[in-house]
Structure 1
Amino acid sequence: MNRQAQAVVLLLLGGAVIRASVTDLYLRYVKEGLRPFLIAAGLLLVVAAIMTLWHELRPAAPRALVPAGGAADGPGDAPGPGDAPGDSAAADHDEGHGHGHHEPRVGWLLILPVLGLLLVAPPALGSYAAGQAGTALSSQQQSDYPPLPEGDPVQVSVLDYASRALFDRGASIGDRRVLLTGFIASGAGGEPILARMVLSCCAADGRPIKLGLTGDVPAGLPDDSWVEVVGRYSDRLGRDPVNDAEIPYLEVESWRQVPVPRQQYD
């Protein structure tokens, strides 16, 4: 791969990053707050590619002409007795092309992430990822939560409810009705649970928040179906089979299936 090809790959990669950043596609990879940094990184890649192409494609500087008599400008320029006639021509040939070798062909593998961004749109982490990782909360942590805001039911995140249910055993929830949105996943015994993935930075560090469901449990829905549930705090606790952490429960009063939200991570 020569430098021109490298620049083209760099240009495609930068363009793919910018394209993902100006649409909602980037939300499948990173948190929403990282969008400005992605746009800046994409622009830098595009600028670097354009500068590389300009440097490689610009006209070569004119070479100094040798006088008609073939005399050298100085004693250091005269060919030595051991120089072969073809050596000077070979050197000129290499100088005219900038180099006499190519970079390893493995460099073409850089085009794979470009194709991945341009042609493939993988889904956000869902029930499979939730089943492979333990819940991200541990009841050994301590926290002091303020009362829930006004509203009936009050809309809270899966993370917020699970934290309140574990860390202060529902004291900050009381008898309030809460509304949560998440996707259906399979629990330890095959029963449906409510889950949501949380990110620290990007999808590579995504961890699930899991809620057991009791009462009017959503039935007949496949994994990764998104639902909106209304319920109340339940003091029931379960165990995550992956890391043996406690999983809080929600007493479901009603539920309905909803479309996949724009922001799928908590």
Structure 2
Amino acid sequence: MRRYGGPFLLLLIGAAVLRVSLFGDLYLRYVQAGLRPYLIASGAALILLALTTAALRPAHHCAHSHGPGVAWLLTLPALALLLFPPPALGSYSADREAARRAAQGVGTFPALPAGDPVTLTVAEYGSRAVYDSGRSLKGRTVRLTGFVTRDDDGTWYVTRLVVSCCAADATTAKAEIRGTPAPPTDSWVTITGTWHPKGTLGSPTAWPPALNARTLTRVPEPTNPYEKP
């Protein structure tokens, strides 16, 4: 069995990659949709390499150790990914990010579409609330969708993680929700409400933006849980 250890490990990893990318949308928990073809190609290449290596490896394999070898421990992460793919990043990841906000210049934003409520990403809402000198959110009803996070003092937020390439570069966008009790942490909700001005425009006191809630609906986690910047 030892002669097939390396090929078996490659086969497991390739199967895990194909499981999350070719046979479903689980890959969206980790990378942007545009990377799917590369994941599929990588998974297929790993499986092909595993089969080729196993076929070409000589039947007589000299080994002096009698245990399965430490290398077999590497199969555990591959099996975990294949059988139990981890969930998308949630409130823990959002809370781990410090409130780091680069100095963005205050300026005017394009006009919002006509009609209320207007659907915005949480990041779009935050940018307009904190940096828009034209106050385009004033008097408008907006709709936001995200997962619930909360502070120790009971303040709660609708939150999304913004991903440029993959989950490793995720940053946090969130809006403080006022006027309605918080659902359970990490549950997904759609909120409609109106902008609640706070702090000085463009300063840390304006972050995170606030929303006066009118309606709240529990919703399932979307297929792609991340927002694009």
Question: TM-score when scaled to structure 1?
Answer: 0.73
246 and 48 in structure 1: CA distance in 2 versus 1, 3 angstrom threshold: same
Q: Is the 8 A contact 1:234 1:251 kept in 2?
A: yes
What is the distance in 2 between the residues matched to 1:53 and 1:244?
61
SS of the residue 2:184 aligns to: coil
- 1:119 and 2:80 correspond: no
Which of 193, 202, 217 is 1:256 aligned to? 217
Aligned equivalent of 1:222: 184
Aligned with 1:247 (options 190, 197, 208):
208
Distance in 1, matches of 2:28 and 2:221, equals: 13
CA separation of 1:259 and 1:193: change in aligned 2, threshold 3 A: same
Name 1:65's counterpart in structure 2. none
Are the equivalent residues in 1 in contact too, given 2:190–2:217 (CA < 8 A)? yes
The list of structure 1 runs, each at least 4 consecutive aligned residues, that deviate by more than 6 angstroms after superposition, is none
Q: Percent identity?
A: 43
Q: CA deviation at 1:16?
A: 1.1
Q: How many residues align?
A: 221
The question of whether the paired residues in 2 share the 8 Å contact of 1:14 and 1:42 is answered with yes
Kindly name which structure, 1 or 2, has the bigger radius of gyration based on alpha carbons. 1
Q: 1:245 to 1:236 in 2, by over 3 A?
A: closer
Contact 2:94 2:161 in 1 (8 A): yes
Question: How far apart, CA to CA, are the structure 2 residues paired with 1:234 and 1:244?
Answer: 13
**Quick one: structure 1 residues 265 and 107, their matched pair in 2 at CA, closer, same or farther if it must change by over 3 Å?**
same
CA contact (8 A) 1:194 1:210 kept: yes
Q: What's the offset of the Cα at 1:46?
A: 1.0
Contact persistence 2:194–2:211 (CA under 8 A):
yes
Residue 7 (structure 1) aligned with residue 7 (structure 2): yes
State the shift of 1:246 in Å. 2.5
Please state whether the residue corresponding to 2:95 is helix, strand or coil. Answer: helix
Kindly indicate whether residue 35 of structure 2 is the aligned counterpart of residue 34 of structure 1.
yes
**Alignment of structure 1 residues 226-241 onto 2, 5 Å:** 226-237=188-199
Gaps of 5+ in 2: none
1:184 deviates by: 1.3
Q: What TM-score do you get using the length of structure 2 for normalisation?
A: 0.84
Q: Which residue of 2 aligns with 1:76?
A: none
| CA contact 1:137–1:209 (8 Å) conserved in 2 | no
Match of 2:116 in 1: 152
Post-superposition Cα deviations, 1:148-173, rounded to whole Å, max 9, x if no partner, equal 22332111100111011112256233
User: Displacement, 1:245?
Assistant: 8.5
Q: Shift of the alpha carbon at 1:19?
A: 0.9
Alpha-carbon RMSD across the aligned residues, in angstroms, is: 2.8
